[in-house]
Amino acid sequence: MAFFIIARAAFGYLFLVLIVRIVGRRPGKQLTPFEFVLIFYLGGLTLTGMVGEEVSLTNAITQIITVALCHYLLSFLRFKSERMARILDGVPLVLMEKNSWRHETLVRMRIQDDDVMHTARQQGIKDLSGIKTAVLESYGEITIIPKKEK
């Protein structure tokens, strides 16, 4: 039935958005092999349920349009509502400020001081004492604001 084909595509897309959102962000500019496997494996498994044995071009076109429409709707809601933007993207989180770690954030986001130092080194900061503020951005990257040299 045509309805089920469209419903499967919409459900698959929205379910994947939820899964990727709650699996959590890991620091880094690029996908780690760990995340690479996760994304492709999830995509493949979702595709099995969405397509099944029905491999017609009509199904593919309607499902692609459905996914595009869902994506457009989420983007629209994200633009219109700040709350929706927070739900979909998350919010930046401070990891370190005023020479102290935000322990709760580090534990809940599964981030270690090594991850922060990794980004700091890329900016030429030699040790943690050179960091003024460290922020985990909503897209997963860690931003370092260095202390001003006296």
Partner 1 sequence: MAQPFRMPVVDSVPKVADEVAVGEDLKFQRKWWMFERVIWSFFVLVLLCDLLGVFGRGWLAKAKRSTPDQALTLDYERVERSGSPSVMTLRFGPAAAHNGHIQVFVGNEVIRGLGARRISPEPATSALTDGGITYTFDSGSTPTIAEIALQPMFPGKHKIRIQVPGSEPIETSVLVLP
Interacting residues toward partner 1 by CB under 8 A? 1, 4, 8, 18, 22, 24, 52-53, 86-87, 90-94, 97-98, 105, 108, 132-133, 135, 145
Cβ-based nearer residue to partner 1, 15 or 40: 15
Backbone angles phi, psi at 144, to 5 degrees: -110, 130
How many degrees, rounded to 5, is the angle at CA 122 between CA 121 and CA 123?
A: 85
Smallest gap, in angstroms, from Cβ of residue 49 to partner 1?
9
127 CB burial (10 A radius; 0-12, 13-18, 19+):
exposed
Q: Smaller CB distance to partner 1: residue 38 or 135? A: 135
Q: Which residue has the tokens 């979909």?
A: 88
Give Cα separations from 15 to 50, 51, 98, 124 (angstroms).
Answer: 12, 15, 39, 41
Nearer to partner 1, 24 or 43 (CB): 24
Q: Which is nearer to partner 1, 30 or 130 (CB)?
A: 130
CB of 22 to partner 1, least distance (A): 5
Residue 112 CB burial class (10 angstroms; 0-12, 13-18, ≥19): exposed
Nearer to partner 1, 128 or 138 (CB): 138
What residue type is assigned to position 39 of the chain? I
Q: How far is the CB of 99 from partner 1 (least distance, A)?
A: 11
